[in-house]
Chain A
Amino acid sequence: MIGFAARRLLQAMIVMLVVALLAFTMFRFVGDPINQMVGIETSLEEREALRERLGLNDPIPVQFLRFITQAAQFDFGTSYQFRQPVSELFAKRIPATLELSFASALFALVVGIPMGIYAGLNRESAISKLFLSVSLIGISLPTFFIGILLIFLFSVTLQWLPSFGRGEVVQVGSWWTTGFLTLSGLKALILPSITLGLYQMTLIMRLIRAEMLEVIRTDYIKFARARGLPDRLVNFRHALKNTLVPVITITGLQLGAIIAFATITETVFQWPGMGLMFLQAVQNVDIPIMSAYLLLTAFLFVAINFIVDILYFFIDPRLRVGRP
């Protein structure tokens, strides 16, 4: 177990190092950092002095080492467009993205699991077939177009829900802001989280359906029915429990995808999160924000992958056999 975890940790660290090298290359070589920081009227001597002070004349390996040390302390330099430290900008926007991701993951699980169970247990019913066709359409519609359709239906035509922003937010603690505590905040959360979670919902539904179909054919389920246990007990206590292992893995891995696709949803709904900021940085070539976003998401993905690997080890006893 410890050997397995250590090996995975080593792999994760190598991945992070490679990503850091990429981020550093972007940061250092795409455009001239000095040109972005000073005005046109700055003289050559002043530029040279600034270059020297920032250590841009040091050997590249020294600069890379400094970049990693600073990044590990959440110092990603100063944004070209906002003239503020990148870490402060991110700190302000992380709560919005995490709340949106959480709400959409919740939506995907709460809606997807019951639909999957139903479609798995009643394979031939018309509603199951409807679920499947709807999920096929859901997979074919691009995320941003789902968002546009929802805005058109619920904001423009029916005027039930807001089409942009987070609504009113409440400050919790020193830097966290939450939209969960106000009515307008909750209303603003509905459309973006459905947009973001729809793909994951269809994925979970199809996964649970397939697993259920597989499990109800097994001998122990037949035996449980033969013993005369009530259907409810067999379906939920015996069958469902064993379908959840892959669901946990997929949910964990999809958490990373949710955070990445938040970029698109945040743009459609003008949601003030990290993704929207990243996209504006891409449009305005704000390299410090881009490299910081790359490092942050890479860290999130690697951490999630690592945790899922370790969790899998605990959930599925079969994995523990035959491994050093």
Chain B
Amino acid sequence: MPYVSNEEAKAAVQDRAGIPPAPSRLARIVDSDMFHSFLRSKVTVVAACGTLILFLLAFLAPWVAPHNPFDLASISILDARVPPVWMEYSDPRFLLGTDDQGRDILSAIFYGMRISLIVGFCSVAAAATIGITLGLVAGYMGGRVDAVIMRIADVQLTFPAILIALLIDGVAAGIFGSIDREVFAFYILIVSLALSFWVQYARTVRGSTMVEKNKEYVQAARVIGIPSVTIMARHILPNVMGPVMVIATINLALAIVTEATLSFLGVGMPPTQPSLGTLIAIGNDFLYSGEWWIAIFPGLALALLVLNVNLLGDWLRDALNPKLR
């Protein structure tokens, strides 16, 4: 008998019984409620395209940017402070002009957006990891562990995230000293953002965990002696992830803004690895002497990025929340 794979066998049986083949994954997505609600909202489609384009420009920066602003051999101080092409004394090589060191603004924006996005994604992932873990433990264990974790969350919720991030940055600078600060800036930034934003995840996950842990499948798992850690990670976690995805999307925009603010205030990314916030901070010094393009274009790029991600997040929240339908 010739070898028949499982799929082929299944297809043959379905064929004979007259059952239509199960739709492919792509077809399922296209036919889903969410995809319909996505297409219905024109703003969301535009925002999704905008986000996609910005993400591509950022992550493909080394290939799509007209110059490499960090290649010291290719930049020249003679090209410093060239205005955008539609103004007088401009240079056709630099579409949006150059900064004080002769770096092309457009390329710097692509590279800066990449750093902003990487910091944003990493800090959201870190915050979600901390929040989900603590939320699972608090919800599953209950009792004193729960009380301690949630009291800490309450205290932290009293403060705006930006203040906490600033404080952590200051303390980290005190521990590492100013030289190491530049080396560790990226990690310090992610830790401070993660520690400022974890509370929301923890509260949400704790709430859903408390509902899930009384369901039969968890009790069954406990009866057959599966350890608590495995139950939390393998059984409960997949069932509480839905709301976490929504919070993560909305928090991505918030994390990008907070990162930009910290960098603008001089405690985030250093000028050697500039994010959009650092670029605006650099340009701010030249605003008064009329070189407005150094600060304004990175700012507009930041606003565009945040607006698009915000619109996507709003739609996702409404689409996944059946109460609002």
Verify that A and B bind, or say they do not: yes
For residue B43, give the distance in angstroms from its CB to the closest CB of chain A. Answer: 10
Contact with A149, one of B175, B257, B299, B311 (Cβ below 8 angstroms): B299
Residues of B within 8 Å of A260, CB to CB, are 159-160, 162-163
Contact stretch, chosen from A52-60, A66-74, A275-283: A275-283
Cβ of B280 under 8 Å from chain A: yes
A139 CA to B313 CA in the complex, in Å?
Answer: 14
B257 touches A297 (CB 8 A): no
Contact with B292, one of A152, A285, A298 (Cβ below 8 angstroms): A152
With A145-B302, A263-B163 already in contact, the answer to whether A282 and B267 are too (CB < 8 A) is yes
Cβ of B265 under 8 Å from chain A: yes
Nearest-neighbor residue (CB-CB) of B263 within chain A: A144
A126 CA to B4 CA in the complex, in Å?
Answer: 65
A152 CA to B297 CA in the complex, in Å?
Answer: 13
A149 CA to B287 CA in the complex, in Å?
Answer: 10
With A143-B261, A263-B166 already in contact, the answer to whether A136 and B307 are too (CB < 8 A) is yes
Give the number of A-B contacts (CB < 8 Å): 115
Cβ of B40 under 8 Å from chain A: no
A151 CA to B295 CA in the complex, in Å?
Answer: 12
Cβ of A301 under 8 Å from chain B: yes
With A297-B163, A301-B158 already in contact, the answer to whether A287 and B310 are too (CB < 8 A) is no
Cβ of B154 under 8 Å from chain A: yes
Cβ of A240 under 8 Å from chain B: no
Nearest-neighbor residue (CB-CB) of B305 within chain A: A140
A71 CA to B35 CA in the complex, in Å?
Answer: 57
For residue A212, give the distance in angstroms from its CB to the closest CB of chain B. Answer: 19
B158 touches A31 (CB 8 A): no
Cβ of B142 under 8 Å from chain A: no
A140 touches B166 (CB 8 A): no
Cβ of A311 under 8 Å from chain B: no
Cβ of B288 under 8 Å from chain A: yes
Nearest-neighbor residue (CB-CB) of B176 within chain A: A285
Cβ of A213 under 8 Å from chain B: no
A14 CA to B169 CA in the complex, in Å?
Answer: 25
With A142-B257, A142-B261, A257-B160 already in contact, the answer to whether A281 and B170 are too (CB < 8 A) is yes
- Which bucket holds chain A's interface residue count? 35 or more
B contacts with A, residue count (CB < 8 A):
41
A152 touches B296 (CB 8 A): yes
For residue B112, give the distance in angstroms from its CB to the closest CB of chain A. Answer: 14
A18 CA to B150 CA in the complex, in Å?
Answer: 13
Residues of A within 8 Å of B29, CB to CB, are none
For residue B324, give the distance in angstroms from its CB to the closest CB of chain A. Answer: 13
With A148-B287, A297-B159, A301-B159 already in contact, the answer to whether A30 and B171 are too (CB < 8 A) is yes
A136 CA to B315 CA in the complex, in Å?
Answer: 14
A156 touches B261 (CB 8 A): no
Cβ of B173 under 8 Å from chain A: yes
Contact with A261, one of B162, B178, B280, B295 (Cβ below 8 angstroms): B162
Nearest-neighbor residue (CB-CB) of B258 within chain A: A142
Cβ of A89 under 8 Å from chain B: no
3 A-B pairs with the lowest CB-CB distances in the bound complex, closest first: A282-B170, A140-B307, A30-B174
Give B residues with C-beta under 8 Å from A: 151-152, 154-155, 158-160, 162-163, 166-167, 169-171, 173-175, 178, 253, 257, 260-261, 264-267, 280, 284, 287-288, 290, 292, 295-296, 299, 302-303, 306-307, 310-311
